[in-house]
Amino acid sequence: MSAFDENPFADPSVQAAANSTPAPTMDNYDPYGKQQQTTPAVLPPSGEVENSQPPPYNASAQQTATAADFQRRQEELERKAAELARREEELKNSPYNARVNNWPPLPGFLPCQPCFYQDINVDIPVEFQETVKRLYYLWLFHAILMIANVLGGTFLIFSGNDSKGSTFGLSIVYGVLFVPLSYLCWFRPAYKAFRSDSSFNFMVFFFIFFCQFLFSCFMALGIDSTGGAGIIKTITTFQAEGSTGGDYFVGFVCLLIAIGFVLAALADFYMLTRIHSMYRSTGASMAKAQQEFTTNVFSNETVRNAAAQAAAAGVRNTFNGQNQPQGQQQQQPQGPRY
């Protein structure tokens, strides 16, 4: 056989080179090559998939607390919604849809009945309810202080530390007058101001409540014979000649009352500055209060009727004067001529 009849690919070296797999490089890498298919993908039987359970899920402590907080808030909102719905239904069922006075809460067998309607959760907007509640609690604290001051004056007069009885007498006057007047003069204006966004009521509250702050400071001092069992009265009670155990007890009671008045003065100053900053943040001013006062005065039916009657009386008098005879008009007393 000639050399041209031989198969060149039958050479063992050529077949070894053709059958050898080159090392994978970036130029000849084949992701779908046979060397990648090492093990075939096998699906598990359907029975094993059905019987397999997912891994248990354990909520973290933060997630548990958040869920409990959401649940608590949801229950609180539902409770408030039910309360508001109940009150709204009561208002609808009341005759003429009129609100019944509920403050002060007096027993039904008393001859006097409540004078005002007060419901902070209904009348006051949500963003101001907490402020009005704190103001109401502050008024209650002032009322308790006035009662405690009467008690301190009673101890002073029976222990001989108030020989003239001025502290005892003035403490009774302060308690009888200032407890209802403080409610009428500064809490009710503040209540109506937050209820209807009234600048005039805010101005009334600021003026009266500032006087209340000064009165609290005055009572905290406890100047002798001024009706306050404050700091000075406490010191004089402790330093009295021949002090006994009863005097020290009375001095301790006066000390507690003095501390109460100091706390009341600090609370008054805090609430005054806080409400004033809230009022100023709304863009209100004295001019707005004056305009509101003028509008309310002229829109009041009683004021309009009184002004109309005064104008009618003036016109009537002028008309009657013009219709009098000329002789009667001239018969008027004249002063002496010099």
Question: Which class for 15: exposed (0-12), middle (13-18), buried (19 or more C-beta within 10 A)?
Answer: exposed
**pLDDT tens per residue across span 263-292:** 999 999 999 999 999 988 876 555 665 666
Using alpha carbons, select from 155, 224, 212, 200 the residue that is nearest to residue 290.
Answer: 200
Tell me what percent of the residues of the chain surpass a pLDDT of 70: 62
Per DSSP, the three-state class of 287 is: helix
Instruction: Label residue 140 by pLDDT band (50, 70, 90).
Output: very high
Distance CA 49, CA 60 (A): 28
Q: How far apart are CA 92 and CA 71, in angstroms?
A: 31
The confidence score (pLDDT) of residue 27 equals: 59
Q: Give the per-residue pLDDT at 182.
A: 96
What is the sign of the dihedral through the CA atoms of 61, 62, 67 and 71? positive
The CA radius of gyration of the chain, in Å to the nearest whole number, is 45
On average, the pLDDT of the chain sits at 78
CA nearest to 150, candidates 265, 252, 257: 257
The number of helices, as runs of H, and strands, as runs of E, in the chain is: 13, 0
* Tokens 């805010």 -> residue: 202
Q: How much is the pLDDT for 111? A: 87
CA atoms within 13 A on the CB side of 139: 20
Spatial distance between the Cα atoms of 168 and 135, rounded to a whole number of angstroms:
28
What's the pLDDT band for 99 if we cut at 50, 70, 90? Answer: confident
pLDDT at residue number 113? 86
Rounded to whole angstroms, how far apart are CA atoms 79 and 291? 41
Residue pLDDT, tens place only, 40-61: 555 555 555 455 566 665 655 5
The CA angle 236-240-242, to the nearest 5 degrees, is 165
Q: Stretch 309-328: mean pLDDT, rounded? A: 63
As given in the structure block, the two tokens for residue 203 are 């101005």
**Which pair of tokens denotes residue 246?**
């009863």
Provide mean pLDDT across the span 34-40.
Answer: 51
pLDDT in tens, 171-218: 999 999 999 999 999 999 999 999 988 888 999 999 999 999 999 999
